[in-house]
């Protein structure tokens, strides 16, 4: 099922950019978890369009309707259907593009795959699909916070060549949300905003990178060998529209560091096994080691730009295209809650898988004695 993620905590997203609605079905969430539409909408509002001059002006309110699986403010343990209606889709903006293959979009590849495509705003390939991810991720994040005290914070760490050096131990969601770029470094945030505005004025776009820290993750999460925790995190992050790279811990820098400097030494600290450094990013052998998870996701510049580009139409005839409509000049500010959501979905699923495995082992041990 290509639109489903998870083994126990399973999420299916549905809907197209200019369809009637988008959303998700969450199956496998434990019962009795307190959750409200307001809690889900807090994350949706961080992702929604039109939130600042740095994002697309599409005017969606992104109010969620919980149609099943929650009763009197608590989950029932049954499937949770989340629906967000599309109220500001302007299909007419895409009429001139219906027979064109836009450069670096999914137009041609969806046509090649299915023999049909929804040309209205990119259809299923649009970042509008991530509404369902963020809504479901808000439930997963609540589960992790209530059950384990896990805290997940992501931020815009780079836009173009502007890099923000931030202490991952101290960054908070309040600091992240204090600037429209979602960069918690004040000087870098101003420079990023200026660069995004300049790119928009020129009809161009910018890429960048989101960093994420997940604190209080317990040791033992991950299912080697093919469902290692970092493997599932990589799969989740690279499924986000415009994501082009993923790193855990030292990432690609590990290729140039000798083992004597890269290894994370163990010590007992206050009766708990800890590593003195965290170049592993909180995962060793595909399993969490109790340290904070540290990761980075790289995003390409949005493919829709106002500059004229070469392309072809469905008949293979050469055309020139300069996109109109409403688009993000940089996805980073709105990608932050999406990255948080995907991390929460993976961690919630792996925690429930870990409980199932250990619970079965304890029953076996009990029966043996």
Q: Over the stretch 163-192, which tens digit does the pLDDT of each residue have?
A: 999 999 999 999 999 999 999 999 999 999
CATH number of the domain enclosing 177: 3.60.150.10
Contacts of 292 (CB under 8 A, 6+ apart): 168, 169, 213, 214, 215, 217, 278, 282
Mean pLDDT of the chain: 95
Q: How far is CA 63 from CA 23, 60, 245, in A?
A: 11, 9, 31
Task: For residue 97, give the nearest of 302, 313, 241 by alpha carbon.
Answer: 313
Looking at residue 51, what is its pLDDT?
78
Give the pLDDT score at 49: 80
Q: Which of 86-90, 182-186, 244-248, 360-364 has the lowest mean pLDDT?
A: 86-90
pTM summary value: 0.96
For residue 13, what pLDDT is reported? 98
Q: How many domains does the chain have?
A: 1
Out of 45-54, 113-122, 196-205, 244-253, pick the least confident: 45-54
Task: Identify the domain containing residue 32 by its residue range.
Answer: 4-368
Given a cut of 90, whether residue 58 has pLDDT beyond it is no
Cα 198 from chain centroid (whole Å): 26
Strand 21-27 vs strand 243-248: parallel, antiparallel, or unpaired?
Answer: unpaired
Residue 349 · residue 7 · CB < 8 Å? yes
> Does pLDDT of 234 surpass 90?
yes
Q: How confident is the model at residue 325 (pLDDT cuts 50, 70, 90)?
A: low
pLDDT tops 80 at residue 56:
no
**For residues 145 and 151, is the Cβ–Cβ distance under 8 A?**
yes
pLDDT attached to residue 278: 98
267 three-state secondary structure: strand
Q: What pLDDT does 90 receive? A: 79
Region 327-350: mean pLDDT is 97
Tokens of 85: 């209606």
CA distance 335 to 341: 10
Residue 182: closest CA among 161, 158, 215 = 158
């Amino acid at each position: 099922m290509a639109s489903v993620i998870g083994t126990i905590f399973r999420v299916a997203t549905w809907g197209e950019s200019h369809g009637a609605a988008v959303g998700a079905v969450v199956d496998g969430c434990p019962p009795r978890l307190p959750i409200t539409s307001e809690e889900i909408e807090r994350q949706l509002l961080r992702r929604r369009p039109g939130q600042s001059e740095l994002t697309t002006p599409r005017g969606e309110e992104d109010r969620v309707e919980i149609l099943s699986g929650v009763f009197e403010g608590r989950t029932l343990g049954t499937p949770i259907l989340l629906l967000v209606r599309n109220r500001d889709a302007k299909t007419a903006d895409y009429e001139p593009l219906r027979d064109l293959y836009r450069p670096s979009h999914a137009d041609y590849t969806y046509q090649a795959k299915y023999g049909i495509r929804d040309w209205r705003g990119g259809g299923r390939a649009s970042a509008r699909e991530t509404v369902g991810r963020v809504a479901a991720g808000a439930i997963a994040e609540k589960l992790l916070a209530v059950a384990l005290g896990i805290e997940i914070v992501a931020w815009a760490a780079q836009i173009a060549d502007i890099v923000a050096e931030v202490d991952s131990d101290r960054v908070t969601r309040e600091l992240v949300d204090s600037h429209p770029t979602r960069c918690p470094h004040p000087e870098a945030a101003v420079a990023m905003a200026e660069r995004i505005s300049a790119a928009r004025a020129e009809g161009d776009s910018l890429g960048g990178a989101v960093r994420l820290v997940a604190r209080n993750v317990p040791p033992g999460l991950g299912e080697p060998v093919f469902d290692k925790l970092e493997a599932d995190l990589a799969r989740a992050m690279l499924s986000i529209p415009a994501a082009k790279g993923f790193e855990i811990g030292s990432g690609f820098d590990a290729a140039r560091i000798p083992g004597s400097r890269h290894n994370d030494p163990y010590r007992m600290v206050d009766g708990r096994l800890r590593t003195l450094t965290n170049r592993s990013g909180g995962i060793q052998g595909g399993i969490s080691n109790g340290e904070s998870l540290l990761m980075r996701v790289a995003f390409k510049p949005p493919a829709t730009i106002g500059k004229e580009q070469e392309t072809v139409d469905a008949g293979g005839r050469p055309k020139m295209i300069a996109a109109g409509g409403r688009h993000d000049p940089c996805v980073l500010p709105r990608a932050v809650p999406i990255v948080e959501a995907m991390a929460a979905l993976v961690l919630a699923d792996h925690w429930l898988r870990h409980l199932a495995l250990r619970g079965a082992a304890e029953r076996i041990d009990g029966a043996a004695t």
